[in-house]
Structure 1
């Protein structure tokens, strides 16, 4: 049976037009760090040309060698900046730091990852392979919503999340802004893009 974690893990869905407080389970992801505007940064293009070949190679390894098939998960990214207003008002993407990610099943080990990376390296064409790692992520309590539309139209939603919903519910932000890209931006009109916007939080006083 083929696993589809987008359906099995509840926090890979979110309501549109409102915020919800959720507890995100711990998981492991392929990760690559970078800096700068994702629209113009060669580093971000190199990330996409690296994460997907490894993600699909892992899938086929799992299916062929372990007998466990699954759907490759969507691209995700953590975003942060010294000035968080660069996300909600100025939208100065040149100041953004990011970690591009792709979730992988818990049954795939570091040894499996290393073997697949070596295979991809032999084939060539994955320009950021030396920066790729497999690491756990455990965000726990989070606020999230589904944004439908252009990435550039996220600012008002994030402003409301950060400055209204989170403090009004006795919460404060911790960790990094997280986005999950449910749509393929190469094939989807900007006004139809579906993105989960997520912010780790904790209760005020903790």
Structure 2
């Protein structure tokens, strides 16, 4: 049985350090959990990860067993937003961040498979049914790059993306800041972390220039 690794087949999971590029991200399905606060110190963030991954793995095993279609469980991703975007850059304040953590699943995963995975995961974690959902995210045109190093060093790259590259490209920010964690930050030295930074954008009309 062939095992699909979407990190190798989807262009939206490719990025280079030091290179900002514009790309079209197709609609993708994710298992998601919402929360708020500093991910480094908030028990809510840890609880969210503990609710998300059991469902993601049960979907993988169900796909392999019931459909004969195996795939690599995708890395953790996060949508981040705040009432003031400066809390991500010049006035960095993680306590004011809202977030959705998520993991991509193939489009052949059905609602029935998701409900079965949630029910099975709830046996060990009763909070799962109230927290985890299946949703399609359609980001469309985006700007992204690869950041290598600690999360706290992202601010400079984000400032260049938000304040220089995007407006100079005739674009404006829309949607939510998106991060894709290509390695497990719980087991990886901060200096070796590889994170795709993505920002949905739209073209600025002539009347807005």
With structure 1 as the length reference, what TM-score do the two structures score? 0.97
Q: CA deviation at 1:126?
A: 6.0
CA deviations on 1:152-197 (whole Å, 9 max, x unpaired) are 0000000000000000000000000000000111221101100000
Once residues 165 and 64 of structure 1 are traced to their aligned partners in structure 2, the CA distance between those partners, rounded to angstroms, is 46
2:163 paired with 1:163: yes
| Residue in 1 that maps onto 2:3 | 2
Write out aligned runs for 1:135-154 (5 A): 135-154=135-154
CA deviations on 1:70-113 (whole Å, 9 max, x unpaired) are 00000000000000000011210000000111100000111110
2:142–2:198 contact (8 Å) kept in structure 1: yes
Give unmatched runs, 5+ long, in structure 1: none
Secondary structure in 2 aligned to 1:154? helix
| Residue in 2 that maps onto 1:39 | 40
Once residues 119 and 128 of structure 1 are traced to their aligned partners in structure 2, the CA distance between those partners, rounded to angstroms, is 10
Once residues 126 and 68 of structure 1 are traced to their aligned partners in structure 2, the CA distance between those partners, rounded to angstroms, is 28
Once residues 120 and 188 of structure 2 are traced to their aligned partners in structure 1, the CA distance between those partners, rounded to angstroms, is 32
Once residues 193 and 183 of structure 2 are traced to their aligned partners in structure 1, the CA distance between those partners, rounded to angstroms, is 6
2:118–2:128 contact (8 Å) kept in structure 1: no
Secondary structure in 2 aligned to 1:51? helix
Give unmatched runs, 5+ long, in structure 2: none
Q: CA deviation at 1:125?
A: 3.1
